[in-house]
């Protein structure tokens, strides 16, 4: 199933029923069955599945946080003149968090009166809840700030590393926090003791990272193949070498997606192609062989039976992986 939208595909997401949603640069949210929702008066900058599994949340350059579902779009927050740069959710705790400049806000999907706010010294580029949805990580200049999401008055734990941090991923066991940087570099911390994990050697910026195989592997973009780091043992990748899968000198990997329950990893390339590989045998299966604009988003459904993709020109689609 493919689509030809008229705007940059910011995010591809799946709801609890396994339907794919696409958040677009023209402010609309589209569902794979044709439902179109005018969610923003401007571009969608970020998106996340709602913690209940019903529809998706989007943040825009109009300062609106919107919840799109079958009935249309509901405005949950509106701050004109302030972009919403990142939004994340936790099905485990029911919490929603979003960042606007230096400020991060947290809400409870089940309690309209619950509200927490956390201020940062520099702008926040990305947010991520830990697996239990209790701690919230914020990527900013100089490292990552960790907050207990439900506590009002607190000082954050700051995981320091010089440079601008732009993307985050928690390991499924919550022991490691990984960060992609503005430089061609991946960094991480073992949260218990703030042990730094410096993981360089990338030829390009790491735009995308995803854990797979029950947290035993981390896949990233930023090279001509998918870079896979081992995360077995208490030290994670410390002292270990990464492998590169699907090397292709003609194009860099732009986006990756990982199957949490298996060793399957998917890659979206800068030339528009999409492939999937089971790392057990390392055979590359080309799902989208035709070239085009760079892949901008890639996501597995919760059961990993479907894979959604979108590109910078509005192309999008869903692959059925169950056959």
Which residues, listed in sequence order, are joined to residue 221 by a DSSP beta bridge? none
Total number of residues shown for the chain: 323
Cβ proximity of 244 and 184 under 8 Å: no
3-class DSSP state of 215? helix
- The rounded distance, in Å, linking the Cα atoms of 94 and 92 is 6
Tokens of 214: 């029950």
- The rounded distance, in Å, linking the Cα atoms of 323 and 307 is 13
- The rounded distance, in Å, linking the Cα atoms of 320 and 322 is 6
The pLDDT value given to residue 233: 83
The pLDDT value given to residue 236: 85
Tokens of 290: 């035709």
The closest of 8, 4, 118 to 61, measured between CA atoms, is 8
Which residues, listed in sequence order, are joined to residue 305 by a DSSP beta bridge? none
Tokens of 268: 């979206």
- Give one DSSP letter per residue of 61-86, joined into a string: TTSEEEEEETTEEEEEEE-TT----E
Beta strand pairing call for 103-108 and 9-14: unpaired
- Give one DSSP letter per residue of 10-30, joined into a string: EEEEE-TTS-EEEEETTSEEE
The pLDDT value given to residue 291: 97
The pLDDT value given to residue 282: 86
Q: Tell me the domain boundaries of the chain.
A: 207-323
The superfamily (CATH) of domain 207-323 is: YVTN repeat-like/Quinoprotein amine dehydrogenase (2.130.10.10)
Global pTM reads: 0.96
Cβ proximity of 99 and 86 under 8 Å: yes
- Residue by residue, pLDDT tens for the chain (323 residues) are 799 999 999 999 999 999 999 999 999 999 999 999 999 999 999 999 999 999 999 999 999 999 999 999 999 999 998 999 999 999 999 999 999 999 999 999 999 999 999 999 999 999 999 999 999 999 999 999 999 999 999 999 999 999 999 999 999 999 999 999 999 999 999 999 999 998 888 999 999 999 999 999 999 999 999 999 999 888 889 888 999 999 999 999 999 999 999 999 999 999 999 999 999 988 999 999 999 999 999 999 999 999 999 999 999 999 999 86
The pLDDT value given to residue 283: 93
- Give one DSSP letter per residue of 95-110, joined into a string: EEEEEETTEEEEEETT
Residues in contact with 173: Cβ distance below 8 Å, sequence separation at least 6, in sequence order = 131, 215
Tokens of 111: 């309690």
């Amino acid at each position: 199933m493919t689509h030809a939208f008229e705007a940059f595909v910011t995010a591809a997401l799946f709801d609890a029923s396994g339907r794919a949603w696409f958040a677009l640069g023209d402010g609309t949210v589209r569902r794979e069955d044709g439902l179109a929702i005018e969610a923003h008066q401007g571009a969608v900058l970020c998106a996340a599945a709602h913690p209940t599994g019903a529809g998706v949340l989007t943040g825009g350059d109009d300062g609106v946080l919107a919840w799109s579902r079958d009935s249309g779009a509901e405005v949950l927050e509106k701050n004109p003149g302030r972009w919403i740069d990142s939004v994340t959710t936790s099905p485990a705790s029911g919490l929603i968090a979003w960042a606007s400049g230096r400020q991060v806000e947290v809400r409870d999907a089940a309690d309209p009166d619950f509200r927490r706010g956390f201020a940062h010294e520099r702008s926040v580029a990305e947010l991520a809840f830990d697996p239990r949805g209790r701690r919230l990580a914020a990527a900013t200049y100089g490292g990552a700030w960790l907050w207990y999401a439900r506590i009002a008055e607190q000082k954050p734990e700051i995981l320091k590393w010089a440079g601008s941090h732009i993307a985050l991923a928690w390991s499924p066991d919550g022991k490691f926090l990984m960060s992609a940087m503005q430089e061609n570099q991946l960094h991480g911390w073992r949260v218990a003791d703030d042990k730094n994990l410096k993981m360089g050697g990338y030829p390009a910026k790491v735009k995308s990272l995803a854990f797979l195989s029950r947290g035993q592997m981390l896949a990233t973009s930023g090279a001509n193949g998918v870079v896979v780091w081992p995360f077995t043992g208490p030290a994670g990748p410390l002292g270990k070498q990464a492998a590169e899968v699907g090397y292709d000198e003609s194009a860099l990997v732009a986006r990756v997606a990982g199957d949490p329950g298996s060793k399957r990893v998917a890659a979206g390339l800068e030339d528009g192609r999409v492939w999937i590989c089971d790392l057990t045998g390392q055979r590359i299966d080309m799902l989208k062989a035709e070239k085009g604009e760079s892949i901008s988003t890639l996501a597995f459904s919760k059961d990993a039976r479907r894979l959604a993709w979108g590109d910078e020109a509005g192309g999008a689609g869903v692959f059925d992986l169950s056959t």
